[in-house]
Structure 1
Amino acid sequence: MCSSCQERYETPSDRRYHAQTVACPDCGPQLQYEVDKTVVEIETPLKRATQALADGKILAVKGIGGTHLVCDATDAETVGRLRERTGRPSKPFAVMASDVSSVESFAAVSSAQQEALTDLRRPITLLETTERTPWLSVVAPGLDTVGVMLPYSGLHHLLFDEIDGPLVMTSANRPGEPMVTNAAALWETLDDVIDGALLHDREIVARCDDSVIRIVDGDRRFLRRSRGWTPSRLPNPAAQTNAPSVLAVGPARDVTVAVADGNGVVLSQHIGEVDDPDSLSFHRRTIDRLTNLVGTDPALVACDRHPEYLTSDEAHRRAEDGLDGPVQIGHHHAHAAALCGEHDRKRAVVITADGTGYGPDGTIWGGEVLDTRYERADRVGGLASFSLPGGDEAVRYPARILASVLDDAETVDDSLVETGAVANLDEATIVRQQAETGTNAPTTTSAGRYLDAVSALLGVCGTRRYQGEPALRLESHAREGQVRDVSLPFESEDSRRVLHTPALVSRLRSLAEDVPTADVAATAQDALARGFASIATEYAHSHGIETVGFTGGVAYNDAIYTTLRETVTESGLTFVGPDRVPPGDSGIAYGQALVATARQSATSD
């Protein structure tokens, strides 16, 4: 600080004595406006920036935990340019509005949602839109929801002193890369995206993305637990008196890391995908900062069972450097253990439903009913297996999945061609042959892929351009429909009771011949929820287990979650769902830490 501020800071009789916010124009934060890597020498960089936004420019605005790409949300042409420049053709953008009244002009805000919006940590809150204005259709294509946040930094408030309407406020990064935190990296990475930059001279020491919340079944769910909530301590009910200190490195997507000891588990901020050198470097720095913050040296490292994750490689590297382990933990066991951990349940039947996770048998899991303890999880039911013709291509083009779940070749071929999954009918025949022979067609039990297949079947979304798009669009479409009657096809697979999803999709196709597609979408979600609930409650009752839980990425779906919770509760069992820990993959590290702690404690007894 300058000499004047230092004198006031050190004088006990001065009102600025030991005031951490003491600052002045000489030593306080400075704003600057840059164009083409060059500082524009002006006295009012803020006014220059707000004028640029009004003129349809795309700016980078440096914040607290990173930098945002910002533009006028109501300018469809500018938002379209932002999509083109960033290579995000349909991924929904978050917006920032000045206050709740402004938000209510385009979205419905319940009391629970208003509480989330106005929380002092100012998360992005997912809201249902009240009307599909042209600008909302560009900001969140194909969806009836939009992510909204209120200003949370002084610079944000200054921007809205000059601007009336909402602003797109999305993280400044290339897809899959960490968010930019400094000017040099900004211009090196995004010079072809931005028209200018409003920056300050405060160093961002720890990158931290915005937290994201959705109200599901009346309660808060974290889609991303980051700025404002991390780092903070979570319970460690798996710990015994001899509990080791554990480092959990997380999965591959939506990664967080965790450090656990006898006092609890501290979960890091959002890291994102760890699939390249830059993101792996961020992952390592986050581990180092977190262990230093917690003040513990981990003795044991835990990771996902998947052999090709970079995070798993990192765990092996740290084990070679002296840590015990790595303890390899099943993806869905970690999901289930995390849910048990935050509700202090030693045993529960947990439904874990998501897009993908490496199973102990080497197949792709994603629709599991698990008899869960911290140290182990037994697969006791779930969804029937089906194939993914073309592997990752079936994830990108979910119409391919129809080839493995429908016997109607004409319906399958038409869907494959219409959605662009194949170029012609000859290629469609090859896809059906892949499904029949199992050639390049890995099997899965994924609830996410089931929802994707229904989305393709109904013509809602045939090409996945961002994570979860087909299922998200299906959910929006389903809100326009009503649930119809459809019988649930159950069978036995490897001595487990499973919902036969191929037969269910076939019944939904027949239903679509007589009712609106929105009704079929609503019925598809309802059938999945009722099927899971039936399997889980039957097992719980027959084995004397009092608690049934639901977690995984599908738990963000409000209709599925609510139906499942109501069905479980009506059966006389206790239902638990995610609260402080995200149900998606960003909660995996917490579960890994609990499982590793329990297993090591059991070994040491």
Structure 2
Amino acid sequence: MPAGPRWNEMIERVKGSIRGTVQGVGFRPFIYTLARRHGLSGYVRNSPDGVEVEVEGPLVGIERFFEEVEAQPPPLARIETVIRRPMPSWGDKRFVIRESLPRGEKDALIPPDVCVCSTCLAEMRDPADRRHRYPFINCTFCGPRYTIVKEVPYDRPGTTMAGFPLCEACRLEYEDPLDRRFHAEPIACPECGPRVSLCDAAGRPLEGEDPLSAACSLIESGHILAVKGLGGFHLAADAAQDEALKRLRSRKRRDGKPFALMVKDLAAARRIAVFNQAEARCLSSLERPIVLLRKRRGHGLSDEVAPRSRLFGVMLPYTPLHALLMEGRFPALVMTSGNRSGEPIQIDNGEALRDLADVADGFLLHNRDIHIHCDDSILRVVAGSPSPMRRSRGFVPGPVHLPEALKDLPPVLAVGAEQKSTVCLTKGGRAFLSQHIGDLHNLETLRVFERTISHLEGLLGVQPQVLARDLHPDYLSSVFARARTGCPVVPVQHHHAHIVSCLAEHGFEGPVIGLAMDGTGYGPDGTIWGGEILLADWVSFERAGHLEGVPLPGGDAAVRHPWRMALAYLDQVFGDGLFGLKIPLLDELDPGQVELVLQMCRTGLNAPPTSSCGRFFDAAAALIGLRRSVTYEGQAAFELEMCQSRTKTKGYPWRVSPLDDGSWLLEAGPIITALVEDLAAGKPAGIMSRRFHLALIEMLSEVCRGIREQTGLSVVALSGGVFQNATLLEGLTGLLERGGFTVLSHRLVPCNDGGLSLGQAVCVALQTTGWSGRFAGGDHQAGSGAVACGGRWGRTT
């Protein structure tokens, strides 16, 4: 009797459901090639929840096939799960790519927009190639994704490329599984794809065979150009021309805020900035974010690029159009968002021509529609790790993967706060944070906010069961949440959401000592919080300490005019004795204004109390003489960081005291007193800034040490916009870690309000399931018990 086939030679059929970022990244041709290599028959196709594949053949070939699927996916693919189940054998002889499944629950992940690849750039620069100098060249492994997609599955008819029928040459590439443009949905060429045009500020076409070369000439001659890019318009100007940048600042109403730069390549970046390997990797990554880099001496650019800053925000070209534009004769281009300050970035040709006509001298347009706004991402490398300041193009809509315990939570829509708005939608064990929307101060931004929510819900096929909002009732995001019918709305305290955001990205439940340091957040006691030490977990918190409260004279006026905060601190520390202080600021202020602000502080009229760390920075900046008024959010604090001296010095004295409720008060008095003494002694601003930073680092570290002695907690989470300050983040992290703490800080989402919606979503999702927090109902009393070092501690010399 002849022997039967060995087990690994038996013919089997297996169906695989692959979830993750597996559409629009070359996954089907990868599967096709892999199946043929292993001698398997079957099929692959896109489905609403990812990619569906069936393979038939010897069992050993099937096993090796699935091993390689997970071990060696295409560069842009991100596999989350591969679920396999046996199927009856069909006996088919070929492996084919089938049409996508049109219906079903949407669970496929749309990939982010990524930079143009080197292979496409080489083709674009090849005079013999049919796509020579074509500014929309792309392939399966590069180009637009999120900004052009309208619906899933991610196929060409569901994108803004649907209106460009493929020519025969492009169709052959698109339909060939062995071609690197197989089902590259934005595929195009000069014969069938989008086109670039150049016009003046009135929208009249400018003659010339090559709009891009003409655009370069306009910029070289000092003109400002509005350039339609991937996720919106930029305003471009030669970064070495003072007058052009002064006009841009005046027209855009952007006084003082640094401009972003685009340079041709890493070599060009090295001519204007100093950076390390970690920063170089971020610059040249697929995401192509703006990276904050140290200015190089003798950089040759205009001081108007980034006044009063030691940093440049630099990015490399990320579209073929940008690469062609960077062939101009300029060392760098200012590439700032194409909008007026405070308004959303423009994405539509007609609206840009209307709204930017008195800002730009010319317009470089194209006719590929942008479906959704997406600003450039911004990050800063701190202690060797990327710290995101704005998470947008290149990263969105990639999800934040939540811990296993959170995978079965109900879908939640979190609407963020007021500034640096983002929204977050949860689905299963994933949280989808939107791109940067902006500050919700006007109707235009609110419309973008609403459209972003609708777009995200449509792509994910999710209708939220509950909404999360900030505790502040008057934020436009809170108003939106309350007006939306059909599901309950749950408020989340601002600073607790910051800490939960940090915990969520680390997959850590807590409890932790949470340091939430920012400018403004509505406290449960009705005051304005912002310098908070919390004991927190995913769903609950207690206030274990805070910065000393001071009046906020004039409310928002004090945010715009830091000199008001300086007066508030001086009055609190010195009372009427402040008039005898030898402080330049007091000599420069109008006596009537001083009297009015002091009256507000002393009566509490239009001067709500605040514990804001951001306002503490503002006060120090104003006292030192750096910034009496600001033109953008965080300007005073940023300039205080930038002016620090590198000279070795000691921090200012500080003090921490117990309060009646058992929590700790971080007193500002000793720091303000010592700073005033330095002012009277004529100490340089850089020394005073450095001493201020060191005092805050030491004080926060010691508070954590004291709370650890009380509670046993040794994990510290850092969040809030103040931790955009690299001196504070790096210095405090190092001091805490040397003291035996584990420190969690942001690496995936911003520490500022741009990451707040993630914390809101996770907190509310768990609350709705009845998750019990350690600090719910005040069961754990912050600050209970005595500390070994006594009732008050500090450094007073």
TM-score by length of 2: 0.72
Match of 1:352 among 516, 519, 522: 516
How many angstroms apart in 1 are the aligned matches of 2:455 and 2:772? 29
Q: CA 1:411–1:58 in 2, change beyond 3 Å: closer, same or farther?
A: farther
Cα deviation, 1:399-434, whole Å, max 9, x if unaligned, reads 11122212222449851562xxx5x21321222222
The match for 1:579 is 747
1:141 matches 2:307: yes
How many angstroms apart in 1 are the aligned matches of 2:540 and 2:413? 19
How many angstroms apart in 1 are the aligned matches of 2:729 and 2:316? 27
Q: Would the aligned equivalents of 1:305 and 1:328 in 2 still touch at CA under 8 Å?
A: yes
**1:173-252 equivalence runs, <5 A:** 173-237=339-403, 240=406, 243-252=409-418
Question: Which is further off, 511-520 or 160-169?
Answer: 511-520
Q: Would the aligned equivalents of 2:521 and 2:528 in 1 still touch at CA under 8 Å?
A: yes
Q: CA 1:11–1:480 in 2, change beyond 3 Å: closer, same or farther?
A: closer
Once the two structures are TM-superposed, the CA of residue 123 in structure 1 deviates from its matched residue by: 0.3
The match for 2:192 is 27
Match of 1:334 among 497, 508, 517: 497
Equivalent position amino acid for 1:367 in 2? G
How many angstroms apart in 2 are the aligned matches of 1:359 and 1:226? 29
**1:93-172 equivalence runs, <5 A:** 93-131=259-297, 135-172=301-338
Match of 1:381 among 523, 534, 545: 545
Q: Which runs of 4+ in 1 moved over 4 A?
A: 9-22, 238-242, 410-414
Match of 1:415 among 571, 575, 585: 585
Q: Would the aligned equivalents of 2:583 and 2:676 in 1 still touch at CA under 8 Å?
A: no
The match for 1:451 is 617
The match for 2:692 is 524
The match for 1:495 is 662
Equivalent position amino acid for 1:442 in 2? P
Q: CA 1:169–1:479 in 2, change beyond 3 Å: closer, same or farther?
A: farther
Once the two structures are TM-superposed, the CA of residue 543 in structure 1 deviates from its matched residue by: 0.8
TM-score by length of 1: 0.95
Q: Which of the two has greater helix per residue?
A: 1
Cα deviation, 1:503-559, whole Å, max 9, x if unaligned, reads 321222113334322111001011111111211222133212131121111111111
Equivalent position amino acid for 2:547 in 1? L
How many angstroms apart in 2 are the aligned matches of 1:134 and 1:442? 46
Q: Would the aligned equivalents of 1:33 and 1:197 in 2 still touch at CA under 8 Å?
A: yes
Once the two structures are TM-superposed, the CA of residue 209 in structure 1 deviates from its matched residue by: 0.4
Q: Would the aligned equivalents of 2:378 and 2:391 in 1 still touch at CA under 8 Å?
A: yes
Equivalent position amino acid for 1:556 in 2? Q
Cα deviation, 1:358-414, whole Å, max 9, x if unaligned, reads 111111111101101111111101211111222222211211112221222244985
Once the two structures are TM-superposed, the CA of residue 275 in structure 1 deviates from its matched residue by: 2.0
Cα deviation, 1:251-293, whole Å, max 9, x if unaligned, reads 1110110111332211111111112221111111111111122
The match for 1:551 is 719
How many angstroms apart in 2 are the aligned matches of 1:597 and 1:522? 42
The match for 1:62 is 228
Once the two structures are TM-superposed, the CA of residue 5 in structure 1 deviates from its matched residue by: 3.7
Q: CA 1:527–1:3 in 2, change beyond 3 Å: closer, same or farther?
A: closer
Equivalent position amino acid for 2:609 in 1? T
Instruction: Report % sequence identity.
Output: 36
**1:531-542 equivalence runs, <5 A:** 531-542=699-710
SS in 2 for 1:80: helix
SS in 1 for 2:237: strand
Match of 1:396 among 546, 552, 560: 560
RMSD (Å) for aligned C-alpha atoms: 2.1
Structure (1 or 2) with the larger CA radius of gyration: 2
Equivalent position amino acid for 1:26 in 2? E
Cα deviation, 1:270-319, whole Å, max 9, x if unaligned, reads 1111122211111111111111222222100000011111100111112x
Q: CA 1:11–1:220 in 2, change beyond 3 Å: closer, same or farther?
A: closer
Q: Would the aligned equivalents of 1:417 and 1:428 in 2 still touch at CA under 8 Å?
A: no
Q: CA 1:414–1:162 in 2, change beyond 3 Å: closer, same or farther?
A: closer
Q: Would the aligned equivalents of 2:239 and 2:330 in 1 still touch at CA under 8 Å?
A: no
Q: CA 1:7–1:144 in 2, change beyond 3 Å: closer, same or farther?
A: closer
Cα deviation, 1:553-604, whole Å, max 9, x if unaligned, reads 1111111112211221122121111111110100000000011011111179
Q: Would the aligned equivalents of 2:409 and 2:429 in 1 still touch at CA under 8 Å?
A: no
Equivalent position amino acid for 2:585 in 1? S
1:317 matches 2:487: no
How many angstroms apart in 1 are the aligned matches of 2:493 and 2:412? 17
Equivalent position amino acid for 2:716 in 1? V
Q: Would the aligned equivalents of 2:215 and 2:364 in 1 still touch at CA under 8 Å?
A: yes
How many angstroms apart in 2 are the aligned matches of 1:3 and 1:517? 64
**Aligned residue pair count:** 598
Q: CA 1:356–1:288 in 2, change beyond 3 Å: closer, same or farther?
A: same
Question: Which is further off, 489-498 or 112-121?
Answer: 489-498
Cα deviation, 1:203-240, whole Å, max 9, x if unaligned, reads 10111000000012221110000001111111334955
The match for 2:241 is 75
Equivalent position amino acid for 1:103 in 2? A
Q: Would the aligned equivalents of 1:108 and 1:130 in 2 still touch at CA under 8 Å?
A: yes
How many angstroms apart in 2 are the aligned matches of 1:174 and 1:600? 41
SS in 2 for 1:491: strand
SS in 1 for 2:205: strand
Equivalent position amino acid for 1:596 in 2? V
Higher RCO (CA-CA < 8 Å; seq separation 6+): 1
Once the two structures are TM-superposed, the CA of residue 349 in structure 1 deviates from its matched residue by: 0.7
How many angstroms apart in 1 are the aligned matches of 2:167 and 2:284? 38
Gaps of at least 5 residues in structure 1 are none
Q: Would the aligned equivalents of 1:388 and 1:441 in 2 still touch at CA under 8 Å?
A: yes
Q: Would the aligned equivalents of 1:178 and 1:272 in 2 still touch at CA under 8 Å?
A: yes
Once the two structures are TM-superposed, the CA of residue 199 in structure 1 deviates from its matched residue by: 1.1
